[in-house]
Copies of this chain bind each other. A is one copy, B any other.
Amino acid sequence: MQQITLKVSGMSCGHCVNSVEGAVKAIGATGKVDLAGGTVTVDFDETKLSVDAIKEAIEEQGYDV
């Protein structure tokens, strides 16, 4: 398992938290958003997922990573 913290801009409310954490969960990882800090910390299996795939999943929700 590996952990990364990504800077995500445009998250402004609890719905945004759900969108981002949901997107991460949908690809099989676990994300925890820090709304005040504008970051998401993701735990993922590096043999199954790439950082690019995680970034892409979040970007698809309309946020810049």
A residues lining the B interface (CB < 8 Å): 10, 12-16, 18-19, 62
A18 vs B18: C-alpha distance when bound (angstroms) = 14
How many monomers of this protein are in the complex?
Answer: 2
Most buried by B among A10, A12, A13, A62: A13
Closest Cβ–Cβ distance, residue A10 to chain B (whole Å): 8
Contacts of A13 in B (CB 8 A): 10, 12-13, 15-16
CB closest chain-B residue, reference A18: B15
Contacts of A18 in B (CB 8 A): 15
Contacts of A14 in B (CB 8 A): 62
A15 vs B19: C-alpha distance when bound (angstroms) = 9
